[in-house]
Structure 1
Amino acid sequence: MTTSSNAVKLPSNGDGLTAAALDELAQRLAPVVAQHLVNCIDVGNAPLQKGSDPTMKINRVVTINGEKRWIHANTEQEYAEKLMQLCGGMQQAPAQRHNFADYANTWFDVYAKPSIEKATATTYKRQITRYLIPHFDGISVEEITVDDVQRLFNDISGTKATKDKVKIVLNMILDAAVEDRLLDRNPLKSKRLKITGGASKVTEPYTQEEMRYMAHNLTKIVDSSDRMYFALLAFHPLRLEEVLGLKWADIDIDAGIIHVRRAVTHPDRNRPEVKDTKTAASVRDIGLSTIALPQLIPGKPDEFVCGGSNPLSYTQVRRMNDRIGKQLEFDGAITPRRFRTTVLTYMTAQKILSWPSQQPDILRLPCA
C-alpha cells in the first residue's frame, strides 16, 4: 500500500479538525460531492451540542435528495466522514429531461410568436409541426446530436430553400437550449453538417405574345372590379400583396403615379391582414401603365382599390384569378407572381429605369 505524495495534513485542535480545516476540506471534496450530492442542505451552521463539553455528541440534520437524515458524531472530523459516507451511499436523483416537442412549442409561444409578423409566425409554426416535431418525436432536447440533425435534413425532400427555412427555426430553438444549459453546444454549428437540396423553381415570365393577348382582351373581363385588379397586377412591377394593399389615395391618376405604401397578406390562408410592405425599400412610387389607366374607376380615398371598405380575402382573390382566366379564354393559368417577374424582365431587357416617361413596349400596347 502506497501513500499519495499529494496527501495534505489538515490542522487539528486536538479534538478534531479546526473550522478553517473543515472549510479547506469542503473545498477539496466539492468536485467529488457534486457527483453524488443533490440539494444537500446543512440545517444550522453551528453543531447542536448538549453542554459545553467538547467531547459531547453532535446531532445535526441534513437534507439529501429531498430526504432528511440525522448525523450523530463526537467530533467534526467524525461528522465530516459520516457525511461523506452518507452522500456516497445515496442514489443520485435522475437528471431532468426536456421533451423536444414541449420545449419547441414553449419557445414559439413565449419568444417567437409575440415578436414577429403574423405571416412569419405562421411559417415558423409550420416548420415546427411539419418537420421538427415529427423527426425529434420522443427525443429529449439533451439527447440531440449532430447525427440527429443531419438525419433530419437528409429526410426532408425538396429544395435547398425549404431546408433553409427549417434550419432557421431549429437553430433558434437549439440556441435557446444552449442558453438554458441543456446542451453544451448547438449541433447545427458543426462543420460536419451538409445541407443540400435542389434549386428553387424559377418563376417563368409570360411571353410577349401572351402579354399582348391579355392586353388586347381586357374588355372580355366582365366585372369592372376584376378589370381594375387585373390591370394593376398584370402591367406593373407589383407584388400581389402590394396590389391588394392599394387605396385610391395611393393612385394619382393626373400624374400617372402609384404610391406603394402597404401590403395585404393572408397568413391564415383566408382572412386578410393589412401590414407594412415586405421591406423598407418596397415603399416606393411607380408609373401608372397606360393600359391600366382607362380601366380605373376612382373610389373614396380611404377605400381599397380591390375590395372597397375591406381588403379581399384569400378565397376571393383565388376565385377572381380563376374567373379572369376563363373570361379571357387564356390557355395558361393566371399566376400573380409571374406578372411582376414579366414586367421586371422586360424593363431590364429594355434598360428602363424610370416611369412614366419610359415604359416597356408591352405596357404601351393599345387595349383595342
Structure 2
Amino acid sequence: MTTLAFMEPEEPKKPRKAQPKTAKASAGKRNVNGEGNIRQRSNGLYEGRAYVITTDGREVRKSVYGKTWEEVHQKLTKMQADTMSGKRVASSTQTVAEYLGYWLEEHARHRVRDTTFASYNWLITKYLIPLFGKKKLTTLRPNDVRRGLFQLQQVCQCCAQGKDKAREERAAVERKKREGRPPRKNAKAIVGARCCALVPQACCRSTVSDGTVRYLHRLLRAVLQDAVSEDEILTENIAKKLRLNHKYRPKFKAWSRAEATKFLESIREDRLYALYAVALSLGLRRGEALGLRWSDVDLDDGLIRVNQALHRVDGALKLGDVKTDGSTRLIAVPKPLVSALRVHRAAQAQEKKNAGKSWQDGGYVFSTMIGTPIEPRNMNRHFDRLCEKAGVRRIRFHDLRHSCASLLYSQGVPLENIQDVLGHSSPTVTKVIYVDVAEDVTRDAVDRLGFLFGEHDEE
C-alpha cells in the first residue's frame, strides 16, 4: 500500500527591499530622444549626438565633434537650444550647380526682364558653376565664396576658360573655308589666337573686374536668399554676411560742358546726330534711345514718352520693358532738340524713299538706312569713332547719361527734377550713382566761406 506523505506548505517569500540606484546602474540608462549623449571615439575625439528637425520636417540625429568633452557639450547644448527655439537644419542634397539651374527657371525667369535673365544665365554658366558647382549647397561656406571670388581676380580667365583656344579653333575653320579661293576685296583678316593658344604662349592676364565680382556676389546672395526664404532648404544666407574687399563702384568722369558742346558741334552733319543729342540732353539709356518710336514722340507739344527699350536677347533684337517701373516716364524736350528731331525725321523720310522696297518700316526714330533697328554694339563702335573725330575724351555711351545728370546739376537743377528726367526711384540713387558734381559748383560753394579770411567785409 502506498503511503502518502503530507508536505508542509511553503512560507510566502518576503518582497525584496528596493536597492538604491548606483552610479554604475544610472550610467547605463538610455537617454530620452532629443536629450543627446556624448562619447569618446577611438581616434580620441569626442562626439555628441542629438535629434534635430530638418527644413522638410523630418527628425534626424546629428553629430557634433570636438577635442574635449566640454567643447562638445557646449556645441550640443547650442544645437539643442536652436532646435527648441524652432531653428531647422538644412536637408537638401543638391549641389550648387543643380540649385542654380533650378533657380534660373523657377525664380529668375518669372521675375526679371529677358536681358537681365540672359545676364544671370551667362554669369552663372561662366563663373558660379565652375567655381562652386560641385559643392553641396548645404556645405557651401563663406570661405568658399570669398576664396572663389578672389581667385577670379588672380587667375587669367582667358586661360582658365579656354577662350583663346576657342578663338583659334574658329579661326582654323574659317581658314579652311577660304582655302583655294581667290582673296576677296576688303576681306577681314582672320584673327585667331591672341595669347595662351599662341606658340610660344603669352598670357594676356585677362582677370575679372571689380564690377563683375560685385555683381557675382550680389547674384549669389539673391540665389541663396531664395534657398532660405522661398524653398526653405538653407537656414541662413552665408553670402549675406560676407564682406569682400573690393571697390564698391567704379568712378566715371562725365563730360564737362565744354566737352559736351564740342562733341555735338563736331558731329552735327552725322546722320545720327539727333540720337546723341537725345542721349546727352535727356539722359536716355542706350536701349531706350534705340527703342524709341515716332509714336512715342510728340514734336508739337515737345514731349517724349519712354516706355520700352531695344536689346539683343537670345541672338535677336527685341523690344522689351524698360529697366524698372520708374523708368517709364514722360520727358519735356527742349526747343533746340525738337528742331533737331524735325530735321532727322525729314532725312529719314528721304532715306525711306531712296530704299524703296528694301525699306522695313518699324516706326523707329533711329534706324539703319533701310528702317531696321540699330544693333547696340554697332552703336558703341560708331560712338567711339565720333569721339575720336571730335577730339574729345572717350567715354562709354552710357556715360552720356552720367554727363546729362552732372550738367543739369551744375546748372542748378534740383536732384528731384533730375530724378524725374532719368527715371530713378529716388534722388539718392541719382546723387550716388550719376551726379559727378562739377568743379565750378564745388568751388562756388566753398568760396562762399571766404569771409572767414577777411576777403569779404560785412557791411
Pair in the same fold by TM > 0.5: yes
Residue of structure 2 equivalent to 1:207: 256
Residue of structure 1 equivalent to 2:441: none
Show CA shifts across 1:237-273 (max 9, x none). Answer: 22222211211122222222222222222345x6322
Alignment match of 2:136 (pick from 130, 133, 140):
140
TM-score normalized with structure 2 length? 0.50
Judging changes above 3 Å, is the alpha-carbon distance between structure 1 residues 230 and 173 closer, same or farther for their aligned structure 2 residues?
Answer: closer
Distance 1:251 1:180 in 2: 45
Residue of structure 1 equivalent to 2:215: 165
RMSD (Å) for aligned C-alpha atoms: 3.9
Q: Which runs of structure 2 are paired with 1:7-22 in the superposition (5 Å)?
A: none
TM-score normalized with structure 1 length? 0.61
1:248–1:302 Cα contact (<8 Å) kept = no
1:205–1:345 Cα contact (<8 Å) kept = yes
Verify: 1:344 aligned to 2:394, yes or no.
no
Residue of structure 1 equivalent to 2:126: 130
Distance 2:296 2:231 in 1: 49
Show CA shifts across 1:111-162 (max 9, x none). Answer: 3224321111122223322332122243222321232223234334366653
Q: CA deviation at 1:290?
A: 0.5
Distance 1:176 1:199 in 2: 24
2:100–2:124 Cα contact (<8 Å) kept = yes
Greater displacement, 170-179 / 256-265: 170-179
SS in 1 for 2:316: coil
1:215–1:291 Cα contact (<8 Å) kept = no
Residue of structure 1 equivalent to 2:273: 227
Residue of structure 1 equivalent to 2:308: 262
Alignment match of 1:98 (pick from 75, 79, 94):
94
Judging changes above 3 Å, is the alpha-carbon distance between structure 1 residues 134 and 351 closer, same or farther for their aligned structure 2 residues?
Answer: same
Residue of structure 2 equivalent to 1:50: none
Distance 1:185 1:338 in 2: 38
Residue of structure 1 equivalent to 2:318: 273
Residue of structure 2 equivalent to 1:39: none
Q: CA deviation at 1:229?
A: 2.1
Structure possessing the higher relative contact order (Cα contacts under 8 Å, 6 or more residues apart): 1
2:109–2:117 Cα contact (<8 Å) kept = yes
Counterpart amino acid of residue 249 in structure 2: S
Residue of structure 1 equivalent to 2:345: 297
Judging changes above 3 Å, is the alpha-carbon distance between structure 1 residues 140 and 334 closer, same or farther for their aligned structure 2 residues?
Answer: closer
Judging changes above 3 Å, is the alpha-carbon distance between structure 1 residues 201 and 150 closer, same or farther for their aligned structure 2 residues?
Answer: closer
Distance 2:395 2:147 in 1: 39
Distance 1:102 1:254 in 2: 56
2:302–2:334 Cα contact (<8 Å) kept = yes
Q: CA deviation at 1:318?
A: 3.1
Q: CA deviation at 1:279?
A: 2.6
Greater displacement, 138-147 / 309-318: 309-318
Verify: 1:287 aligned to 2:333, yes or no.
yes
Distance 1:160 1:334 in 2: 19
Residue of structure 1 equivalent to 2:375: 313
Counterpart amino acid of residue 206 in structure 1: W
User: Gaps spanning 5+ residues in structure 2: where?
Assistant: 1-21, 38-49, 52-90, 154-207, 350-360, 419-459
Distance 1:5 1:134 in 2: 51
Alignment match of 1:248 (pick from 282, 294, 299):
294
SS in 1 for 2:277: helix
Distance 1:262 1:28 in 2: 61
Distance 1:342 1:96 in 2: 49
Show CA shifts across 1:339-358 (max 9, x none). Answer: 22222212111123679xxx
Q: CA deviation at 1:321?
A: 2.4
Counterpart amino acid of residue 287 in structure 1: V
User: Gaps spanning 5+ residues in structure 1: where?
Assistant: 9-26, 36-94, 356-368
2:310–2:318 Cα contact (<8 Å) kept = yes
Distance 1:98 1:122 in 2: 23
Distance 1:278 1:145 in 2: 33
Distance 2:376 2:96 in 1: 34
Distance 1:175 1:251 in 2: 42
Distance 1:181 1:291 in 2: 54
Judging changes above 3 Å, is the alpha-carbon distance between structure 1 residues 257 and 115 closer, same or farther for their aligned structure 2 residues?
Answer: closer
Counterpart amino acid of residue 349 in structure 1: S
Q: Which runs of structure 2 are paired with 1:189-208 in the superposition (5 Å)?
A: 189=240, 191=241, 193-208=242-257
Distance 2:377 2:231 in 1: 43
Q: How many residues of Structure 1 are paired with residues of Structure 2 in the alignment?
A: 272
SS in 1 for 2:336: coil
Q: CA deviation at 1:194?
A: 2.2
